[in-house]
Chains A and B, each alone.
Chain A
Amino acid sequence: MAEDPSVPPARGITRRALFQGAGAAAAARALLGATPAGAEEGPAATPWRTQGPGAVDVALRVNGAERTLRVEPRVTLLEALRLDLDLTGAKPVCDRSQCGACTVWLDGRTVHACSVLAVEAEGREVTTVEGLGQPGRLHPVQRAFVEEDALQCGFCTPGLVMSVAWAVAQHGPGLSEAQVRRACAGNLCRCGTYPHVLKAALKAAGQGG
């Protein structure tokens, strides 16, 4: 079912204003996915409108490229990235915002792609681990992860790379260990790569990553 054209989008009401009106900024953050400690809410989001339940067109900007998808509004950004765009770096692990393996950037801030709808990402800049760097031209954080062996099975690694790269971008060369721990507090690793992740993060920050 396509979007009903007879229902005009409610202009001028942002979701942020809506939630603030309801006195539930915390709920907004929960719906937007994980917001790292210390990060402020980003720019005003997509205007509020009713969509679905049938498939709708969604224009996404992913890793700098414009991509138009036709997805049900209930499709998560994670599913759209993985199944529609074949960007499988972000991983499904916990099914709902508990492990950080699907961490991507939305307008430069880390979010859990499993807890953002694809339609919510419309008009915003999505950056995945593939967009950060590629084999042969690694982002300094990715290079430091390889050099310090901050990975084992590697399933949590793309998420950790995105969280660490966010912390490095945020804090620069002065990045502290405590800031890395906070930035990655929502990223679970089962192989126990954390000590090497800490080393890699500080190394990348020191190198101006």
Chain B
Amino acid sequence: MSREVTYRVGLIGPEDLVARHPALRREITVQVHDLDADPWPVDAALRWVGREVPRVDGEAKVTGAARYTYDVHPHGLAFAGVLGSPHAHARVVAVDDAAARAVPGVLAVRTFAGRRVTYAGQIVAAVCAENPRALDDALAALRVEFEPLPAAVTTEDALAPDAPRVEPGRTEGNLHAPPEPGNRAAVDEAFAAAPVRVAAEYRTSVQTHSCLEPHGCVAQVHPDGTATVWASTQATSFFARGRFSRELGVPEARVRTLTEHMGGGFGSKFGALEWDVIAAGFARETGRPVQLMLPRRLEHLLGGNRPDSIQRLELAGTADGVFLGLKGETFGTAGNGPGGAGAANHSVYRIPALWMRQSEVATFTARGAAFRAPRHPQGFFALESLIDLYAARLGADPLEVRRRNDPHPVRQAQWELGAERFGWAAARARRDAGPLRRGAGCAAARWLNAGRPPWQVDLTVRADAGVLVANAAQDIGTGMKTVLAAVVAEELGIEPGRVQVRLGDTRDPAGPGSGGSTTTASLAPAAREAALRAREALAARLAEHWGVPAAEVRSPAGGFEGPEGRRASFAEACRLIGDEEVRVQGTRRPNWAGPFGETAGCQFAEVEVDTETGVVRVLRVVAVHDAGRVLNPLTARSQVNGGVLQGISYALYEEKRLDRALGDMVNPTLDTYRILGLADCPRVEVLLTSLEAGFNNCGAMGLGEPATVPTAAAVANAVFHALGVQVRELPMTPARVLAALEEAPR
């Protein structure tokens, strides 16, 4: 079933770094599935993979030709919308929908009288109408009677002994604490003996995903008992599962889900959510295609968010910068849903003695959702800030302290590369006398994934040498279509332009949800295997055509060779297909054991702080990341830019602000909930340390999430360096900066 392959893996570039770190290349032996392609060695000469191939759907996106869910307008389209509760906690006593039903053009109304709402924005009624104006009029005409109930919308209010409970059945209040970690005594001992201890409390705010295309779908039930749904989702293959298809009245297998283009998800758009299910019901009830896209206010309220955190940490170390122990207690709230706990603040570095208790707090707010590197930006902000506090106590260079405690061989090289390109020593030596103070900081990144089985990719070749690659997974903007085209082109020895990639259609084999930075590394190896199958199939046809044994036809890149000087190009071989088609499939095989472990990265930031106004500006960022083998540096740089800029936005601007008494969001617009704009955008230098990682036949790993892990931490450390005082709560708004300066010892 498998063969042994020995090949060289490790750092592909940049060249000078490879020369300085010979240990980052080594030979490994892996068991390759008989049907799988041989992995590319570290020094493989590749024509398309690793090159800057422009996005295959770029033209469609820059001309408006790309159709997103919001742009799909089937004939007879009806428009649906929902009414959210203005109360964080209330009973819906009654809904009077008579006036709404009387609005001309209203097709259907649903109400949820009797429901106990536990967050502002929770749906209490829904309307389906002929056009958007009738929809607005009808939603405005709904009369809802609420019985307001007491609520607690902040973590601290929810922890008060007399706080109302989000789940009344629970006995222990709103705190969901894990069992006490058992090693407290050993950790206390390590702390007692430690020469240096630093402790601080760090806080982060709730961040909304703010995807530009809001959540929603267009659902249509056809007379033949099938249905089509266009969904703005990160999981096309699973969107119609369960409640959604039940509400449509069509079995899941007969629902076709389409996500050709998708306007941003960042973790918030997996399965169908409540409003999608409502749209499905309206589609069945009205017999019309129904569009339900959330308006911005509800997108902010309901579309998901990154839970906030309160993190009390203490770090113990030696006088020369070696960590001895970390202990901490953290709280986070994902509103009325699970997942608020567990800031990732104890990974990356060697920490001999660790005690962490991470609790989740239920509040009367809308559910959190996975958000680009869940748990990591908040956890890294706290841990990396504490490390700088420790370094400052020692009078040591915080970069040197990190390198002293970092066991990852790739990140060690990255720290070196990043510091050089950033000019770390000079930036740290700078001292400003005036009100504008510059500072430099750094922080580490990590991620886990190299993709996973068991996905299949279909590949079809026709006589005109046109190649179609297909899987139901979606390209949410990462550039996966382009990467798959390049991988297949590489294997077939043709131009990527000859390869059409169809994603986001459940008529094709199921694909992974876009989560965990796994999609490209999950599908690219399967696409490569499919291309290998196609090559074999064409070689077999040539062998038959030439009348030679199949084993005697070889397929070097870009063509085929047989005995006695016989040759055929890819296009010539394809002509043998005639009226048929070559249809093959590639499978994602299990990962091998790559020798370099998890993905590494680090970032450096320089800021300028106005000590009179408290305004922080990020001037530049150097981001060093490995993603296994970088399959397309052009789109990879885009992803890193995105991670960095979202991280800066999180560090400086973003905060879902709630009215503490009423629980409603007070800044549910894109001018009051501020996200980073071009005017705020610093210089970002992206350095990709491409690494044949040894996990799969493409050497690929994930990139989307690690790129945003360290940014807020690096910015916060730069602010600390600029001011000599930490701003311990994100976002670092002018008010928080001024307050920190106020409290600083003079």
Residues of A within 8 A of B (CB): 72, 74-75, 79, 82-83, 86-96, 98-99, 101, 128-130, 132-136, 138, 142, 145-147, 149, 151-158, 161, 180-182, 184-185, 187-198
Contacts and interface: CB of A to CB of B under 8 A. Distances in A.
Interface string B564-591: 0000000000000000000000000000
A154 B133 contact: no
Interface stretch (B207-215, B397-405, B433-441): B207-215
A153 B60 contact: no
A192 B679 contact: no
Contacts of A82: 71, 73
A94 B131 CA distance: 19
A133 B64 CA distance: 9
Contacts of B476: 153
B671 A87 contact: no
B63 interface: yes
Q: Please give me the 9 A-B residue pairs with the lowest Cβ-Cβ distance, nearest first.
A: A89-B64, A153-B477, A155-B263, A192-B642, A154-B61, A192-B645, A88-B71, A146-B58, A152-B477
B678 A198 contact: yes
Given A94-B670, A149-B638, A194 B678 contact: yes
Interface in B182-226: 209-214
A94 B296 contact: yes
A101 B73 CA distance: 19
A92 B216 CA distance: 13
Contact of B63 (A83, A90, A138, A182): A138
B58 A129 contact: no
Nearest to B672: A98
B62 interface: yes
A193 to B, nearest CB: 7
B630 to A, nearest CB: 14
Contact of A145 (B62, B264, B684): B62
Contact of A195 (B63, B261, B641): B641
Contacts of A79: 132
Given A188-B212, A188-B670, A152 B639 contact: yes
Q: How large is the interface on B (under 10, 10 to 19, 20 to 34, 35 or more residues)?
A: 35 or more
Interface in B47-101: 54-55, 57-68, 70-71, 73
A86 B77 CA distance: 13
A181 B55 contact: no
Given A86-B73, A153-B263, A128 B64 contact: yes
Given A128-B64, A153-B212, A156-B212, A193 B54 contact: no
A95 B295 contact: yes
Given A95-B297, A136-B59, 20 more contacts: A72-B133, A88-B67, A89-B64, A89-B65, A91-B71, A94-B296, A94-B671, A98-B671, A132-B63, A133-B63, A147-B54, A151-B58, A154-B261, A155-B263, A158-B64, A184-B677, A190-B675, A191-B264, A192-B642, A192-B645
A155 B63 contact: no
Nearest to A101: B212
Contacts of B642: 152, 191-193
B32 interface: no
Given A94-B669, A98-B670, A129 B634 contact: no
B330 to A, nearest CB: 27
A151 B62 contact: yes
Interface string B621-649: 00000000000001101110111111000
A194 B641 contact: yes
Contact of A91 (B54, B263, B295, B645): B263
A137 to B, nearest CB: 9
A89 B210 CA distance: 20
Contacts of A92: 70, 293
12 contacts: A89-B65, A91-B263, A129-B64, A132-B63, A135-B60, A155-B263, A184-B677, A187-B677, A189-B212, A192-B646, A197-B678, A198-B678
Given A79-B132, A194-B681, A135 B263 contact: no
A189 B645 CA distance: 10
Nearest to A87: B64
Contacts of A190: 209-212, 264, 266, 646, 675
A149 B211 CA distance: 19
A91 B62 CA distance: 12
B679 A146 contact: no
B478 interface: yes
* Residue of A93, A96, A153, A180 ringed by the most chain B CB atoms within 10 A: A153
A130 B63 contact: yes
B262 interface: yes
Contacts of B679: 181-182, 185
